[in-house]
Amino acid sequence: MKGLLDKLKPDAPQSEIQDTEQVKKTYKHWRVRTFYSIFIGYAFFYFTRKSFTFAMPAMIAELGFSKADLGLLATILYCSYGISKFVSGIVSDITNPRYFFSFGLIATGICNILFGMSSSLWLFALFWGLNGWFQGFGWPPIAKYLTHWYSQSERGRWWAVWNTSHNIGGALIPLIAGFCAYHWGWRMAMYVPGVLCILCGVFVWNRLRDTPQSMGLPPVAKYRQDEAESVQDTDSSLSTSEILKKYIYKNPYLWLLGFAYFFVYVVRTAANDWTVLYLVESKGYTYFDAGKSITAFELGGFLGSLAAGWISDVTFSGKRGPVNVLYALATLLSVWGLWLVPANHVYLDIAIVFCIGFFVFGPQMLIGMAAAELAHKKSAGAATGFVGCFAYMGAAAAGYPLGRIIEDWEWYGFFAAVLICCVLATLCLLPMWSLQKKKDKI
């Protein structure tokens, strides 16, 4: 393992370029190149995470699996992905994110292909669990790139635009996997996204590099003259274990962010996975009309992410806490509105689901950003992976446990549980209303 990590170690810092104009030109080039690479790369991660969703109906028909069998695979993915986010976060902080990110893309593509070649439940579970593990290689390197190449005063906008890659990937995969499944069967719906991810992994390996310092550039705090950013560069003499202990394990705000992320992901996953069934069963809509709500949910998330990043940068001067709290409260009101609206108001329901997507994707994005900013810069991947582990435990809780609540207490129980999660997320986020940078908490 040590030998492998040595081969993946970060690039050494180069002598700093002294020509101011050369620094500006080089920084501009690599910031744009880095950004479009991680945007495209993460959208492709969604290809191999969501491909299974569109293969499920054909798998049930062809292989005779039950919904419970396939639901188990989804739970395995969420659990392995959540654990991997934290573990890979620690590893990514001591490796070159270029290699780590591209390797994850290639590996998840291979797992999709192997899944498509299988026919037994235990093989499906093995390859889908491995897929979840390698999916976890995507997020921590991106947090590292966004932390090292973009400063705190501007990061909200850059991070917000990057966050829309979730929605782009989520919107494209139904077209690709659905088309493949319809014309060539469910196995091709796994093969094609897998091959595309492998090709994309090679592409991002070619495009990405490591930190600005590895390119002979000054740290982004110096380049941007950002005082709020410069405080994250202190304590540079600490070892990795000391940084993890001080800035993650003993950081009460990361624990609060983690618990908040758990509840936010329960709400996000519940809205994404259960809304169509609720509108069909409880309000009598057709699957076509109910399906429009998920499109509205993704569109809302796209716009909500952009708005949250801009508001946190411009209105609150880089503070993420106020936007997180306000968005969480608005999510609560939107979920409550979906419950209260009577049947036969399909477009009103779709508009409310749009609002849920708009507001829930705010904290979905900003909690990860806040975790990176409230930890040491050298532990950005571990910090976001730490809270991300909580997030996907929440996603797992929105599966089978919420399904049992619906069976036992019907949709009243479902909405009660989701609303309670909204309240708890808000309470966890409130103590961080005024936090902006690391020196505010230590």
CATH code, domain with 286: 1.20.1250.20
User: What integer pLDDT is reported at residue 179 of this predicted model?
Assistant: 83
User: Do 225 and 353 share a structural domain?
Assistant: no
User: Do 179 and 262 share a structural domain?
Assistant: no
User: Do 183 and 99 share a structural domain?
Assistant: yes
Model confidence at 418, pLDDT cuts 50, 70, 90, reads: very high
User: What integer pLDDT is reported at residue 8 of this predicted model?
Assistant: 72
**Of 251 and 227, the one with more pLDDT:** 251
Most confident of 4-13, 100-109, 432-441: 100-109
pLDDT over 50 (residue 439): no
User: Do 249 and 203 share a structural domain?
Assistant: no
Mean local confidence (pLDDT), 234-255 = 74
Which of 159-168, 267-276, 283-292 shows the lowest per-residue confidence on average (mean pLDDT)?
283-292
User: Do 221 and 263 share a structural domain?
Assistant: no
**Of 213 and 7, the one with more pLDDT:** 213
Measured CA to CA, the distance from residue 196 to residue 41 in angstroms comes to 11
User: Do 135 and 260 share a structural domain?
Assistant: no
Residue 409 lies in a domain: yes
pLDDT over 90 (residue 415): yes
Mean local confidence (pLDDT), 406-427 = 93
Residue 134 lies in a domain: yes
Domain end residue (candidates: 202, 230, 258): 230
Residue 4 lies in a domain: no
pLDDT over 60 (residue 42): yes
User: Do 293 and 183 share a structural domain?
Assistant: no
Mean local confidence (pLDDT), 97-105 = 94
Residue 8 lies in a domain: no
Residue 7 lies in a domain: no
Residue 15 lies in a domain: no
pLDDT over 70 (residue 436): no
Residue 6 lies in a domain: no
pLDDT tens string 317-366: 888 899 999 999 999 999 999 999 988 888 999 999 999 999 999 999 99
For the chain, give the mean pLDDT.
86
Structural domain total, the chain: 2
User: What integer pLDDT is reported at residue 4 of this predicted model?
Assistant: 55
pLDDT over 50 (residue 378): yes
Residue 354 lies in a domain: yes
Domain end residue (candidates: 206, 230, 254): 230
Model confidence at 396, pLDDT cuts 50, 70, 90, reads: confident
Model confidence at 68, pLDDT cuts 50, 70, 90, reads: low
User: Do 277 and 160 share a structural domain?
Assistant: no
User: Do 165 and 191 share a structural domain?
Assistant: yes
User: What integer pLDDT is reported at residue 240 of this predicted model?
Assistant: 66
User: Do 165 and 129 share a structural domain?
Assistant: yes
Domain end residue (candidates: 181, 205, 230): 230
Q: Are 431 and 253 in contact (CB under 8 A)?
A: yes
CB neighbours (10 Å) of residue 86?
A: 24
Model confidence at 438, pLDDT cuts 50, 70, 90, reads: very low
User: What integer pLDDT is reported at residue 442 of this predicted model?
Assistant: 40
pLDDT tens string 193-206: 999 999 999 999 99
User: Do 199 and 106 share a structural domain?
Assistant: yes
User: What integer pLDDT is reported at residue 235 of this predicted model?
Assistant: 52
User: Do 253 and 205 share a structural domain?
Assistant: no
Mean local confidence (pLDDT), 69-81 = 82
Measured CA to CA, the distance from residue 143 to residue 290 in angstroms comes to 35
List the domain range (segments joined by +) for residue 251: 244-440
